Amino acid sequence: MPEPVSLGKLMGASVILLATALGSGELLIRPYITTQAGVGLLWLATLGVLSQYFLNMEIERYTLATGETAVTGFSRFWKPWGIVFVLGAILPNAFPGWAASAATSLTYLFGLSESTVPWIVTVLLLSIGLAITVSPVVYTTIERVEMVLVVIIPAFLLLAIVVATDLSAWTGIVTEAPQGIANFPRYVNEIGIATILGAIAFAGGANNLCQSNYIRDKGMGMGLHIPRIVSPITGEEEARPPLGTRSR
């Protein structure tokens, strides 16, 4: 009998998903809606998160049972699905505003002038390109970076909650929800239906499929039987746990 998989390995897919999925919905769209309509519309985030939970569970179950990614499964029904998912993952994340937004935040944090934004953006993009270029196994490098992000993000979130909110703000999510639902048509006109739908949609997205690849590549379930990831440059194999510590 193989030894049980450690809790850290089982949580790995969720860690990868957290690091890759935090984006425009959590950092931009929902905070913007809250500034315009108050906390009465945060029930939309709950709707998005619950929908995402059930989708994620089925994505993981499929890969555990078959050893193939969810994208491969979709492609069995219609081959162009693979292209659709590739575009859905690349286009939103390739939008150039991400680096500019990060650079602008850094200027506020360190008291720099706005004229430094282009220089910071340049450094950020070059650093990302260099890190990926020199990595023997890009997958492993990205995984390690995301593990660091998962430590930083909850720490920053906890600090923000302590500094910027109080108990009344959290209870308002429940007490003001009926008013938010009643005034929903007005908020749609004021904020825009595209923004509100975006807040729901960006609870998930193509990044949810990352956990499917993670489970397969880490040899969980039927993923145990697929080949290891090999660097085309150095021939180095992506490290996996010993056979006896992986699930079957």
Q: Is 235 helix (H, G, I), strand (E, B) or coil?
A: coil
Angle at 172 between CA 36 and CA 52, to 5 degrees: 75
CA atoms within 13 A on the CB side of 140: 13
Nearest 5°: phi and psi at 72? -60, -40
- In order along its 248 residues, the chain shows pLDDT tens digits of 444 445 455 555 555 555 555 555 666 677 777 778 777 777 777 777 787 788 888 888 999 898 888 888 888 888 898 888 888 777 766 665 677 877 888 898 888 888 898 899 899 889 888 888 888 877 778 778 877 877 887 788 788 888 877 777 777 777 777 777 778 888 888 888 877 777 766 666 677 787 888 888 778 888 777 766 565 555 555 555 444 444 44
As a residue count, the chain comes to 248
Judged on CB neighbours under 10 Å (0-12, 13-18, 19+), 108 is exposed
Residue 107 belongs to a domain: no
How far is Cα 237 from Cα 35, in angstroms, rounded to an integer?
Answer: 48
Residue 82 belongs to a domain: yes
Residue 65 belongs to a domain: yes
Report pLDDT for 119: 92
Number of structural domains (the chain) is 1
Residue 74 belongs to a domain: yes
pTM, entire model: 0.63
Task: For residue 21, give its domain range.
Answer: 7-94+135-245
Residue 49 belongs to a domain: yes
Give the number of other CB atoms < 10 A from CB of residue 28. 16
Residue 75 belongs to a domain: yes
Residue 99 belongs to a domain: no
Report pLDDT for 7: 47
Residue 44 belongs to a domain: yes
Q: Is 192 helix (H, G, I), strand (E, B) or coil?
A: coil
Residue (of 6, 10, 2) closest to 214 by Cα position? 10
Q: Is 237 helix (H, G, I), strand (E, B) or coil?
A: strand
